[in-house]
Every structure is written in structure tokens, then in C-alpha cells.
């Protein structure tokens, strides 16, 4: 007959196995749904913001970040936010896919900021000197939600 100590040890091992199994499935599912552009973009989180720049070494502004990520995958995009918006096909907000571009009106112009849609209402971008780095934000965030202009698909 098993002892109480062995029983507790057995239960602990089962709990660890179940929890680690759940975590790995969740991570794999998320990564599997990302486009190659998004996987690369996510690897650049924390890169410094630098207006007018478009490389991991020098830093990024918003359009430089998007142009670099897509260029890394062999897809040429215009350098400016407005150029990107004007050259790509519009996508309904309720049909966003990983890798789509999301545009915002942050200074009175409908195309003054751009980011790359990740999933689950999250997007990655180089927001500003104030935030100082590439990061992930939510479309549900009041600031970004109120300023959302449209989405485009490269």
C-alpha cells in the first residue's frame, strides 16, 4: 500500500506534467498562428525608437520598423505611413490577420502611425520617443482604439 508521502509526490508530479503540457500547447498554438513577419517583428521588441531610422542597429520609427520587417521577408513597402496606406488594399477591422498593417490618426492625419497586427487585438509598433522602444500594444487600449483609422494587407 502506498504511503502518504509517496501519494503526495505522485500528485505533485501529475500536476507539474499537466501544467507544463498546457503551457507548451498554448505557446505553440500562438507561434503557429503568427506570420513570418510577425515572428520577426516580435524578435525586435525592445529595439530603441529613433525618428527617421529603419534598422535594428540604429533604431526605428513606426514606418521604418514596418518597412524593415517586411523587407526582411523580401517584401518592399513604401517608407512613409501615408505611402503604405495608399499602396495597399483595405481590410475590414473584423477580418484582421497576423501581419496586416494597422493605421492610426495620432496627429490629425488619418495615416500618421502604423503597426503590424499580431493577434487577439494586439499589434507591434515603434510608437514614440516617449515610450522609447518597439513594443506590443492593444487595439482595446482607449488611446489606440480612439485613433484607429483602418487596416491594410500587404
Q: Report d(CA 31, CA 116) in Å as an integer.
A: 15
Q: Report d(CA 91, CA 95) in Å as an integer.
A: 7
125 assigned to active site: yes
Q: What is the CA radius of gyration of the chain?
A: 20
68 assigned to active site: no
From the list 22, 50, 97, 125, the catalytic residue is 125
**Crossing angle of the two packed helices 36-43 and 62-72, in degrees rounded to 10:** 130
From the CB of residue 83, how many other CB atoms can be counted at a distance below 10 Å?
Answer: 14
From the list 22, 50, 62, 97, the catalytic residue is 62
From the list 72, 97, 113, 150, the catalytic residue is 113
97 assigned to active site: no
CA dihedral 140, 142, 146, 150 (to 10 degrees): -30
The full length of the chain comes to 154
Catalytic residue numbers read 62, 113, 125
Amino acid at each position: 500500500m502506498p504511503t502518504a508521502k509517496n501519494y503526495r509526490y505522485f500528485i505533485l508530479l501529475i500536476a507539474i506534467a499537466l501544467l507544463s503540457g498546457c503551457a507548451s500547447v498554448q505557446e505553440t498554438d500562438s507561434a503557429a498562428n503568427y506570420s513570418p513577419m510577425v515572428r520577426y517583428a516580435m524578435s525586435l521588441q525592445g529595439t530603441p525608437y529613433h525618428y527617421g531610422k529603419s534598422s535594428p542597429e540604429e533604431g526605428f520609427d513606426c514606418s521604418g520598423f514596418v518597412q524593415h520587417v517586411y523587407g526582411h521577408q523580401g517584401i518592399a513597402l513604401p517608407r512613409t505611413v501615408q505611402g503604405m496606406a495608399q499602396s495597399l488594399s483595405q481590410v475590414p477591422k473584423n477580418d484582421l490577420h497576423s501581419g496586416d498593417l494597422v493605421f492610426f490618426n495620432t496627429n490629425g492625419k488619418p495615416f500618421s502611425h502604423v503597426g503590424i497586427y499580431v493577434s487577439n487585438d494586439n499589434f507591434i509598433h515603434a510608437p514614440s520617443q516617449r515610450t522609447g522602444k518597439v513594443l506590443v500594444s492593444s487595439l482595446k487600449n482607449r488611446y489606440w482604439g480612439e485613433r484607429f483609422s483602418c487596416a491594410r494587407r500587404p
